[in-house]
Amino acid sequence: MASVTEQISSSIDTLTRELDIIAHNLANASTVGYKRRCNAFSKTLEQQLGSSSGNNDSDSSLDFSQGNTVETGRPLDLALYGDGFFVLETPDGPLYTRNGVLHVNQNNQIVDSMGRIVAGQSGPIVIPNNVGTSQLSISSNGTISANGMDIGTLNLVTFEDESMLVPIGESCYRMSEEGTKPTTAENIVVKQGYQEASNVKIIDELVGMILVSRLYEANIKTISALKETSSSLTSIAMG
C-alpha cells in the first residue's frame, strides 16, 4: 500500500510541476522572443497530439522552434528568422536572446529594453549624433547603415547544442558551464520592423492544462480511496 501511495505521490509532484510550466508558458504567450518550456510529459503529450515541432532535443527543457514574425514598422524592432541569437554584453558575461525590441541609450549605443548593450561584431554599435532611428536601415545579415554609411553589424551567434542554454528570465539565456562557445550564425535572416512572437500555442497549452488537471484529480481521488481502504482494513483488524 505504501509503495503504491508513494508512486502516486510522485506522479502528483510531476503533474504539479507540469501545471507550473504550463502556467508560465501562458503567462509569457505575448512576450517577444519567448521560447516555451516543456518537460518529458509535455513532449509525450505533443507526440500523441501530433503537434511536436521536431526541434526539441529529448533532454531539453526548452523549445527553440521559430515563433511567428509580427510587423510593427518600428526601425529598431528586429526579428530573427532561423537559428541564432542576439548577444547582450553584461558585467557578468554575455547573454543571448531572440527579443529584438531595441533602443538607443544616452551614449547613442544600441541596447535592449533593459539597457544592456547589444553586441556588434566590433563592439558596441554607436549611432552618430546626426542620425535618427528613422534613418537606420538594417540588412538581412544585420548590417546597420544610414545615409549610405555603414555603422556596424550585429553579432549574431548560434550554438551546436541549444540545450546547454539556461533561461534567466526576460527571454534571455546564459551558456551553462558544460556548454561550448557559440559560433557565428550563418543561416539567419534579420527582419527590420518586425518582432518575433512567442512560440507558445495557447490552445495546445490549454489542452495540456485540462489533461494534466484531470490526471491530477484522478490521482488525488485514488489516494483518498486508498486511505479509506486502509482505514477500513485497520478497523476490521482491530475488531
Instruction: Give percent of the chain with pLDDT exceeding 90.
Output: 64
Query: Within its chain, how far is the Cα of 50 from the centroid?
Result: 21
How many angstroms separate the CA atoms of 130 and 8, rounded? 67
Contact 102, 112 (CB under 8 A): yes
Distance, in Å, from the CA atom of 239 to the CA atom of 153, rounded to the nearest integer, reads: 83
Strand extents, DSSP E, 22-108: 69-71, 78-82, 85-89, 95-97, 103-104
The residue-averaged pLDDT of 226-231 equals 58
pLDDT per residue as tens digits for the range 14-59: 788 888 899 999 999 999 999 999 865 655 555 555 544 434 333 4
**In angstroms, rounded to a whole number, what is the distance separating the alpha carbons of residues 34 and 78?**
14
Q: Any bridge partners for residue 124, and if so which?
A: 119
Rounded Cα distance between 75 and 156, Å, is 18
The string of pLDDT tens digits covering residues 176-216 is 988 889 999 999 999 999 999 999 999 999 988 898 888 87
- CA-CA distance, 50 to 212, in Å (whole number)? 17
Query: In 3D, which of 145, 153, 170 has the Cα closest to residue 90?
Result: 170
Half-sphere exposure of 118 (CA within 13 A, CB side): 31
Q: What contacts 4, CB < 8 A, 6 or more positions away?
A: 226
Mean pLDDT of the chain: 85
pLDDT tens-place string over residues 81-92: 999 999 999 999
Q: How far apart are CA 61 and CA 48, in angstroms?
A: 18
User: Would the pTM count as exceeding 0.95?
Assistant: no
Which neighbouring-strand residues pair with 175? Answer: 165
pLDDT tier, 174 (very low <50, low <70, confident <90, very high otherwise): very high
pLDDT tens digit sequence for 118-129: 999 999 999 999
Q: What confidence score (pLDDT) does residue 53 get?
A: 42
Beta-carbon count within 10 A of 34 CB: 24
The dihedrals phi and psi of 104, each to the nearest 5 degrees, come to -115, 125
**pLDDT above 50 for 169:** yes
Q: Average pLDDT for residues 101-114, to the nearest whole number?
A: 97
Range scoring the smallest mean pLDDT among 37-41, 104-108, 116-120, 128-132: 37-41
| Res 235 pLDDT > 60 | no
pLDDT at 70 over 90: yes
